[in-house]
Every structure is written in C-alpha cells, then in structure tokens.
Amino acid sequence: MKFSYFPETDTLYIRFADRSGTDVVEITEGMIADVDAQGVIVGIEIDSARTVADLQGLVFERIPAATIQFLREPPETPAIITQ
C-alpha cells in the first residue's frame, strides 16, 4: 500500500495494489476509485485532499506489515521501521 500526496494539485492517491486500473468509478464528487478488470479497487484518488483528510499525520493501527517506509521529497535517507 502506498500513499502519495501531490501538493501542486492537493491530490492524495492511495494505491492498494501494484497493478494498473482498467476503469474508474466515481465514489463521490472529488473521489474516484481505480478498478482492475475484475472490478477490484487498486487505488483511490482524492481531490482537495487537505479539506477531506488530516495530512499532518498518519496513525497505523494493527497493521500486519513487516516493513514501513517513510520517504520525503527529495528522498534523503528513508526511515524504515521493521517489526
């Protein structure tokens, strides 16, 4: 899973899978889902993200991830937390 924020357009993209979407579905105004050929959501794009989400921090709760990476632009040395 990957969160990408684009400040120049105030857009947040949340990628759930490393495959391309083949279609889009509007969830609500300013929020669309990319879906694959089977209709599974592979990503969500949120316009005007700063009005929809608090981008000042992320809270991870009960995430069974082995590795979490925090990258900044330009990438310095990424902080990697491994359980």
pLDDT in tens, 13-69: 999 999 999 999 999 999 999 999 999 999 999 999 999 888 888 787 888 877 777
Which amino acid is it at 10?
Answer: D
pTM confidence score:
0.77
Model pLDDT, residue 76? 47
In 3-state terms, the chain is what percent helix, strand and coil (to 5)?
5, 40, 55
Rg (CA), the chain: 14
φ, ψ dihedrals at 32, nearest 5°: -125, 150
Q: Which residue has the tokens 């083949």?
A: 22
Model pLDDT, residue 14? 94
Model pLDDT, residue 75? 47
